[in-house]
Every structure is written in structure tokens, then in C-alpha cells.
Amino acid sequence: MKLDETHDPALESWVESANERYAEFPIQNLPFGRFRRSGGPPRIGVAIGDQVFEIEETSLNALAARGRRAATQLRLELSRELRRGNPNPPIDRLHPMTECEMLLPFDIGDYTDFYASIHHATSVGKMMRPDNPLLPNYKWVPIGYHGRASSVVVSGTPVHRPSGQIQQGSDAPVFAPSRQLDYECEVGFFIGSGNALGEPIPIAEAEDHLFGFCLLNDWSARDIQRWEYQPLGPFLAKSFATTISPWVVTLDALEPFRKPTAARPEGDPAPLPHLTGGDAFDITVEVWMRSAKMERLIRLSQTWFDQMYWNPAQMIAHHASNGCNLRPGDLLGSGTVSGPGRNALADERGCLLEITQRGTEPVELPTGEKRTFLEDGDEVHLRGYCERDGFRRIGFGGCRGTLVP
């Protein structure tokens, strides 16, 4: 771990709301985001307590392009500026979050979604290939596909139910609204400094190209996807919307929650040399939802990002291994974060396809309603946080979307 004075759990801020025990944004976090006030121009800030602290940067893409060292130095300066005891606290740069409209943090040039949870891949694979759920390449290569950057939206943006070709049994396909609309609970991460076209990123240097993390919901139309995905993979079933949280938690803020990637089960192949390395990050991710008839959110699942089969460094190194040029602000999704099933405290499965076993085991809501997939008016929230003895708990803010006709 690369710890410094910014990780000291005793640090407090002159922004009092940041010092509350369960504050998502204590001074040890300081995630970056883009916002505007009263319809004004976009600005860059960091979250501190229930406030946004405006900074002089004009673009997160430009900050990311300067590399991790520049972001680390800026975070250190902001930490010192926001600490309790600053004799001249710049209160004029502080704005209540309730008065800020959050925007996409980066200008996202490209978006790639991976399939890095072996628990999710196995669970879904069993539905289609009960005797052979994992395809032969899964344990050798991080599986991914190129998503659609233009339809990445910030938390709170309504999501319109997509239409597409749907085929059932031996019938001819029809063009209709999806009836199997699902969420996917994911962790996203943004590229910092990129690489030149034709120059791979060695895995030992992969994290130097990683700026920070967000929550990501890659909405999925399962019935459209089932018809279109062979042989080239997801297309219209995914490209209608991907929701991300507005705050980007930096790699530096996550240092206390770094841990070795879990050992592979006996008999699994070791990663090839160019994919050997990288760490996991202990991030808890939860899915909450409510229907239009419900007053309160209910939790559907709780799962852990450190259970992924492939870690972020491996995904970055693989993406660039053929010389593909990653650019500042590019977004990578982890794929659905799922655990092996259900434990004593929570369901660990990160999508309704898994939770309802392809619609055969409906979820019953407190109102008596049942869900196999999402209905219009359903609201889905992703929440994420990190906690570890000896360090301040930090959060990711919300990733929220409501399905509309």
C-alpha cells in the first residue's frame, strides 16, 4: 500500500459534515466530479461531507492526462487545504450539494465492458449450458466488449425502456419493447494517462494509467440480447443506457483497501505472464430498489468487488496488449459483480437474471408485487463503500436510475 498523511484516520475537516462517523465523503476520500450551479458553466470539484469544494482544474480529462503523480499531488494539496486548523479556510469555494447539478465527470471517448466475475459468468452460463457453463477461454483471458460511450449517463437520468427484435421458441422475431429489462451491478474505472497506439501497457505499469473508480449500472435487455448476441455479442441490448455515479474515487483514496487478488482454485491455469500481477480492491457494492408503489428502498443484494476473477490491472493490460491506445477519460466496466450465491446476510448476485433464475423465481416486494425483471417506474440504486479497521470508511455516492416507458 502507498499510504501517506492523507490516509490518517484522525484527520478532520473544517467542513463539519465530513467528520460524521458514516459520512461517505470524509477528508480521507476527496473524490473528483464535475458540476454546475443554476445552469452556469461546468466546474470541477471534490466532494467533502455534504458539500462540493470547487477547484481550479477546468477538465478532469486534462488532469488525468497528467498522470497519477499529478493527481496524487493535487489530492494532497486539497487535503491540507480542507483540514481542520487551516487559518484561512476558503469557504467561498464551498457549495452545498443540494444546489449543484452533477454532470458526467469525464468526456468519455470510449467505453469497454468486461465480464470479470467468474461467479456471474458461471451462474449465467449454467442457464444456457448446464453441463459446461464456462467457455474454454474464460480462465485465460479477460472477456470484454466495446460498449457505447454516447449513451453513458450520470446518476439520476431516466432510462427509457428499449425496443428491439425479440424471438421466442420457433416463432419469427418481432420488434417490440423489451420485457426482460435488467440492471447490472458493476464497478467502473477511468483511464488516466493513456498509451500511444501500438505500445502495450505492461501489467506492472497498468495502475499508473488508472485514475479512479465509480459505480456503474450497465442496463441490459435480456430478451433482445438473447437473440442478437451470437456471434458478435451484445449490441442494442446494452447500448441504450449505462448509468454511472458522478464522483470518481481516486486510486489513492482506495490504497488502504488494496488487497492481494484471491488465489485461483486448484486446477485453474495461472494467468499468462503479460497478465500476471495487479491487486484487488475491497469495495462493497449493494443494489437497492423500489417500485412506484413503494415508499422505501429495499436491498436486493450485497456483493464484493475483491471476489472478481480478473483485477483492474489485468483488464487494463489486456485491453492494451494488442497496442490499442487507451485515452484519458476512457471508461472500463468490470462486468456484473456477483458472489457465489446467497450468504446468511444477503444475496450476493448482482442482477435480476441471476436472482430470479431467468424469471423462474420472482422477487416479492413489500407491497405484494413480484418482479422477475424491471417494470416501468422501478428505481434502482447502487451504493458502494470501503471499510477496514484502522482507516476511515469512505463511500462512492449513489448511482441511480428510474425506468420509464
What is the structure's pLDDT at 160?
98
Q: Does 120 participate in catalysis according to the annotation? A: yes
pLDDT in tens, 149-167: 999 999 999 999 999 999 9
What is the structure's pLDDT at 132?
87
Contacts of residue 63, Cβ cutoff 8 Å, sequence gap at least 6? 32, 44, 57, 70, 71, 74
pLDDT in tens, 272-295: 999 999 999 999 999 999 999 999
Asked if residue 5 lies in contact with residue 76, where contact means CB atoms within 8 angstroms, the answer is yes
Q: Work out the end-to-end distance of the chain between its first and last CA atoms, rounded to an integer number of angstroms.
A: 47
pLDDT in tens, 225-237: 999 998 999 999 9
| Coil vs helix vs strand at 326 | coil
Say whether the peptide bond before residue 162 is cis (omega within 30 degrees of 0): no
**331 closest CA partner among 175, 218, 196, 183:** 218
Burial class (CB in 10 A: 0-12, 13-18, 19+), 364: exposed
| The model's pTM | 0.96
> What cell does 171 get?
416463432
Q: Which residue has the cell 484522525?
A: 10
Residue 340 confidence class, pLDDT cut points 50, 70, 90: confident
Q: To the nearest whole number, what is the mean pLDDT of the chain?
A: 96
Asked if residue 113 lies in contact with residue 233, where contact means CB atoms within 8 angstroms, the answer is no
Distance CA 291, CA 377 (A): 6
pLDDT in tens, 183-226: 999 999 999 999 999 999 999 999 999 999 999 999 999 999 99
What is the structure's pLDDT at 90?
95
DSSP-derived letter for residue 13 is: B
What is the structure's pLDDT at 39?
84
Burial class (CB in 10 A: 0-12, 13-18, 19+), 275: buried
Q: Answer whether residue 344 shows pLDDT above 80.
A: no
Instruction: Determine which one of 120, 209, 318, 319 is catalytic.
Output: 120
* Half-sphere CA count of 188, side-chain side, radius 13 A: 35
What is the structure's pLDDT at 343?
67
Asked if residue 55 lies in contact with residue 78, where contact means CB atoms within 8 angstroms, the answer is yes
